Amino acid sequence: MSVQISQEQQYINAVMAKLPEIKDKKVHVLQKGECLWSIAKNSLHKGASNQEISTLMLMIAKLNNLTTVEKMNNIKANEKIYLPADCVDNNGQIKEIKRELNAAEKTALGVLHTLKTDKTIDIEDAFSYWRPGLLYHVYNEHRYADGFISSHHPVTSINMNKDGTIKNMAFNDAEKKINPWGFDYELNADGTIINRYSKEPCGKLSSEQMEDMLTTGENLINKFNQNP
């Protein structure tokens, strides 16, 4: 039986997924009448918008694993919670804190760097009678730890739409093999990275990063098709 998630909880989940992991924190003892909203509001400048207050409130909630509305509303006076130690500047503005990339995201950006800079890139049209010209395998030259050099090292497979745009890209984790039967990750055109073994989302590229990836991939395929 599927569980219905409220729009408010969907919003909370979406915002928390984009928030950075806070490492520097300090202990705060809740005073009578305090809630996460009031703590966030009092930490910011006098004219802070509701969106600014909401963002800081959810940063505090995420830091304390208060991931639902019920958990946020259930805090009580004299309880100890953690507050971010250094995310608001002297003017009461939320500092830009870059979220640390996870393994899947680092790997995706590594693939992008390879596609843009590696002079040994080679592309093959994975021809099939039902999908001609829609799937491409990208290889490069790679030196392994034992000294063996492969000229056919897999970088990514690019799945195209019929209009010539990229549908998704698949590639292996940069450090380890996760999926024993195929590529480890699938990067969809919206920037979502899927673990191909568990089928679960495991990362997301920014819109700027994804635009760069799509442009780079499509340019490579177009160049290949012009001179296969």
Residue from 53, 33, 58, 51 nearest 43 by CA: 53
Domain carrying residue 83:
1-9+21-96
pLDDT tier at 98, thresholds 50, 70, 90: low
pTM of the model: 0.61
Secondary structure (H, E, C), 160-188: ECCCCCEEEEEECCCCCCCCCCCCCEEEE
Domain stops at, among 96, 115, 135: 96
Tokens 């055109």 belong to 189
How many Å apart are CA 169 and CA 136, to the nearest integer?
10
Specify the number of domains making up the chain.
2
Tokens 């800081």 belong to 56
How many Å apart are CA 88 and CA 55, to the nearest integer?
12
Whether residues 121 and 210 share a domain: the answer is: yes
Average pLDDT over residues 7-26: 83
Tokens 């569980």 belong to 3
In a domain, 16, yes or no: no
pLDDT in tens, 154-194: 999 999 998 999 999 999 999 888 888 889 999 999 999 99
Whether residues 76 and 131 share a domain: the answer is: no
